[in-house]
A and B are shown apart, each in its own frame.
Chain A
Amino acid sequence: MRRIPILAASTIAGLAGVIGFHSSRSTTLKSLLASQAAAGGRTTPKTHGGRSPSGSSLPSGSTSRASAGSLSATGALEQYGYGRLAVRVTVSSRRITAVSVPDIQVADSYSGSIASQVIPMLRSQVLSAQSARINGVSGATYTSEAYAMSLQSALDKLHFK
């Protein structure tokens, strides 16, 4: 009985410790992906054009003209088994020069960690294939399919063949 105060006080201390430590340094999937995209070179320009995309559920989805001769578009937000994602692509002189994932939500942390491993691989596959016809990553079939479909819808907006 006399140990109940000890238990209560130390429980609160442990709880406060973890929450305090967490808020001082926290990483999320989005910031992880953003940092990887930044490390990957060109990030997509933030400017948005006025043209509303057709067939996309993403309200902010748009094409935009960034620097001279380069066009960007964000594809449809694709639902897949473990979350949803949208791919943004930049095309310059008939070449895909940049791919990123500005919007991703995953159901759980494990799927998130899979996504953060897989998306850079998919990105390099797209850059080398120069199309949405990619092999995908085995073990992450749903993510790969969603990525390819969203990418294709972005490319369609840019009339990229």
Chain B
Amino acid sequence: MATEHNTAVAVTFDPSLGVDRRGTKRSVRPEPLPDKPPRPWVVDLAAGIAGIGLGATTGLAFTAETHSELVATGGIWMFAGNLTALVGTYLALVMVLLVSRIPAIEHAVGQDRLIRWHRMLAPWPLTLITLHVVMTTIGYAQAAKAGFMHQVGTFIKSYPDMLTAIIGFALMAAIGLVSIRAVRQRIPREAWWTIHLWMYMALALAFMHQIALGPSFVGHPLARAVWSLAWLASAGVVLAYRVGLPIWRSFRYRLRVVAVQQEAPGVVSVICSGRNLDRLRVSGGQFMLWRFLAHGIWWQAHPYSLSALPQPSYVRLTVKDAGDHSRAMADLAPGTRVMIEGPYGAFTKHSQRRRRAALIAGGIGVTALRSLLEDMPGGSGGARPVVIVRASRPEDIVFRDELAALVKHRRGALHEIIGRRSEVALDEATLSSLVPDITGRDVYVCGPEGFVHSVTGALRHLGVPRELVHHEAFSL
């Protein structure tokens, strides 16, 4: 099977193809549709809007209650309950937007950083909303001179939308519990992912009680309208960019598997054909979420890097067998339909600040490095990239020949570091001897999380400025 595909000349990715095209047509635009450079001001603008929202939401809590309401029995608890509710819910909205795949933000920040922010923020809304539930109930119970549990009963019986809100909170709390690191590590990734998507449901269930009962919204039609609009717009953004755009793109490019080739033990490349691929704006180093419509795996979308820039009618992704999904890649039948989401990621030539670059990949990280390298210009003004590839065994190095050809054309240097991590370290000494001018170069690091962590640590010790270090970690 594999040999048959290997001999299919039409689908083989020849790195010299990219080289020739660039070499001969340097004066014209090398790509039919180059990826647009990211716009960092979009992120500044988003940060500004997020800040105004946070301030306004906090302000709503402070203006909701009059002095007499505050000094009444339970008033302080109700105020605190309202403040935590508003700020917590607002932060939940920000979390939703951080992962809503807004293209301009994805492009400027990079998805792994956005997800890191999303994770960093996560404990706050959960804690604040839990505090809200407890404190507001205490406040109402004191005002009604009732017990805590009795008040919970009253909420369900005689307050509108409270039953759905309580269900929403229970859901939220359950998701919060399974997201605690110790618990999460015991759950398969797909199961956790599916559970945690229920957060959308939890937030929707909790929405109505906010505007029906929230002291900042009852009798304040303007605040109510703005709050509702913000949520509606966010729901629209999520639907548009997480559902609508991927469906549209998948339909537009109509990808199908044409061949699966083995690159190294446990590493396969999947080559897909499609239409309009010259219109696909993708930068080397980016990844897409791939959904293969095959039995057993159609419901999962996984992030895999493009291991080469799209050629007129083919794209190639390369996958290391690290889980059920990636293992299934080897058995994909030609003709399988493919849906895509993306491309995502800021691990591209656009992040480059200096003229020269160094590219460092560990293990399967070489896939993203390969397409990034292909995207870097050759010639005298080029990045003269120093490429360092690390693998445990010689046969594990993927794209050896392709890398060599690409590096040669860009007048760079290629170093292969082979050996177990315990035996051959990619430490400060090695890095500075392989790349003597490393502090003056942009350094791109790509690979498993542990690898990226140790290399970026070494770069920091070597004094490479933070803004020159670009990394993308693959969580396997």
Contacts and interface: CB of A to CB of B under 8 A. Distances in A.
A106 B75 CA distance: 10
Contacts of B57: 14
B214 A7 contact: no
A14 B59 CA distance: 8
A112 B78 contact: no
B233 interface: no
Contact of A109 (B48, B55, B73, B218): B218
A32 B384 CA distance: 74
A114 to B, nearest CB: 9
Q: How large is the interface on B (under 10, 10 to 19, 20 to 34, 35 or more residues)?
A: 35 or more
B143 A11 contact: no
A6 B144 contact: no
Contacts of B144: 81-82, 107
A130 B47 CA distance: 61
A108 B136 CA distance: 10
Contacts of A6: 44, 47-48, 51
A121 interface: no
Interface in B368-406: none
B213 A7 contact: no
Contacts of B218: 109-110, 112-113
Interface stretch (A15-23, A38-46, A151-159): A15-23
A10 B58 contact: no
Interface string B52-92: 11111111101111101100111000100000000000000
B interface SS class: helix
Interface string A19-39: 100110011110010000000
Interface string A87-107: 000000000000000000111
Contacts of B49: 10
Contact of A105 (B55, B60, B72): B72
A129 interface: no
A22 B63 contact: yes
A83 B78 CA distance: 14
A78 to B, nearest CB: 13
A12 B43 contact: no
Contact of B52 (A13, A108, A110, A112): A13
A107 B51 contact: no
A15 B47 contact: no
Nearest to A25: B222
B154 interface: yes
A19 B51 contact: no
B212 interface: yes
B50 interface: yes
A interface SS class: helix
Contacts, number: 108
A81 B154 contact: yes
Nearest to B217: A109
A68 interface: no
B450 interface: no
B298 interface: no
Given A18-B63, A81-B144, A107-B143, A13 B213 contact: no
A3 interface: yes
Contact of A17 (B43, B52, B74, B143): B52
A13 B53 CA distance: 9
B56 to A, nearest CB: 4
A8 B48 CA distance: 9
Nearest to A142: B158
B59 A17 contact: yes
B219 A109 contact: yes
Contacts of B51: 6-11, 13-14
Interface in B138-190: 139-140, 143-146, 154, 159
Contact of A3 (B47, B55, B69, B146): B47
30 contacts: A3-B43, A6-B47, A7-B48, A7-B54, A10-B47, A10-B50, A10-B51, A10-B55, A11-B51, A14-B51, A14-B53, A14-B54, A15-B59, A16-B55, A17-B52, A17-B55, A17-B56, A22-B59, A27-B219, A32-B219, A82-B143, A82-B144, A106-B69, A107-B72, A107-B140, A109-B214, A109-B216, A109-B218, A110-B215, A110-B218
Closest 8 A/B residue pairs (Cβ): A14-B55, A18-B59, A10-B51, A107-B143, A109-B215, A15-B55, A22-B63, A14-B52
Given A19-B62, A83-B143, A113-B219, 7 more contacts: A7-B48, A7-B50, A7-B54, A16-B59, A28-B66, A32-B219, A81-B144
